[in-house]
Amino acid sequence: MEGQDERLGLPSASNWHRHELCAGSFQLEREAVRLEQVAHKKSLAAASGQRQHAALAGQEVQLEGGEEASVAFLNERTLEQVERIFGTRDVPCINERRLWLDVDQKKALSGQFDRVYFTEKLALLIDYKTCWREPDPAETNSQLKVLAVLVGIALPSVEEIVVQIISGPYGVTEARYDLESLSEAYREIIATLRAINDPNAKFAPSPEACRYCPATMICQAYRDATVAPVAKLQITELPLEPGRASKLLDEVSMLRRLCDSVEEFYANKLQADSSFAIPNYAMVPGPQRRAVADWRAARNRLEEFIEPEWLDGLMSFSIPNVEKLLAKSLNLKAKEAGTKLAEILGELLSVKPGNLVLKRVKEQKAVALIE
């Protein structure tokens, strides 16, 4: 939910860990935006996360697939944590608000929290994670550090802030900030702000820092750390010495990110400009996407074929998860399970066209007709 416009082109909590690792990335990111060479685009996972965050904030939104079950799960876990920390579920809360840190009477940094519960002396700050990538734990999470400081400034009577990451796949992690640790976090944030705004801010490319950096396509330091070492690689067999193996894997992982960014850039260009064409490449439909409109109704039908206890054991309802249970229950192969699931669900299962993807295609050559 972090829009570039509402952040005013300034640093934000969601990118703070990258800024801590690589100070130069902030200014180069703005240059990438100016040049229209941004190295990432919105993914299906990101779109799903936005819908779920909107629903968690109480907005009216059309959820897809297993998103409704995921939102219900996250809300229930939240209320459990509220009762554990405050002793009651009846606590005032605020959803999705952007807060700002001013330095020298100017906006310098912002962050948008998902939900905050608070009393006069205690606050609970929650960050929801809806993807399957394991988040940094709350104890070391840079985004939560920034948000804790911003909430502490916004609620000056609060003496302790509990920060939590609540995730379906990975559960709950928690850290606590008292006034002393908030002061220390504030000093660290100010130091990072100075570093990233330094005209000579240093670059420190690494798999972690570069994973989601928007500036990788124009970053010379990134290319020096990826393309050059791999291009010069002259070995008859892969190294088994742990240190060399680790370094090679880091370089390959960063190079893969660069390759993905290049493909994303040209895919976006082809979709945005109908006059733009690349020989032998085109945007073609990807695999079809299946969705279940009503998982409650679907479950009623599935219980005739799958043990209810098995369905209860699912962390979230999704078509692949249910297909696996169906295959196990009826001793079917994967393809057979897909066909059987479609038969069971009937009109509850919809099939949507696949998203367009960039693919190499065979060049269409003119064919001469011989009479």
pLDDT tens digit sequence for 2-58: 445 788 889 999 999 999 999 999 999 999 888 888 876 556 567 788 888 888 988
Query: Of 43-52, 200-209, 220-229, 323-332, where does mean pLDDT reach its minimum?
Result: 43-52
Q: Output the furthest CA–CA distance in the chain (Å, rounded).
A: 91
Instruction: Tell me the whole-structure pTM to 2 decimals.
Output: 0.70
Determine the residue type at 213: C
Instruction: Tell me the mean pLDDT in the region 187-198.
Output: 96
Instruction: Tell me the mean pLDDT in the region 311-337.
Output: 87
Instruction: Tell me the mean pLDDT in the region 241-255.
Output: 85
Written as six digits, the tokens of 224 are: 């020096």
d(CA 91, CA 160): 16
Cβ partners under 8 Å of residue 287, min gap 6: 354
Instruction: Tell me the mean pLDDT in the region 108-115.
Output: 95
Report strand pairing: 289-292 vs 171-178: unpaired
> Residue 233's closest CA among 217, 219, 218, 252?
252
Asked if 98 and 111 count as a contact pair (C-beta separation under 8 A), the reply is yes
Name beta bridge partners: 203: none
Instruction: Supply the mean pLDDT for the chain.
Output: 87
Query: Of 13-17, 75-79, 248-252, 335-339, where does mean pLDDT reach its minimum?
Result: 248-252
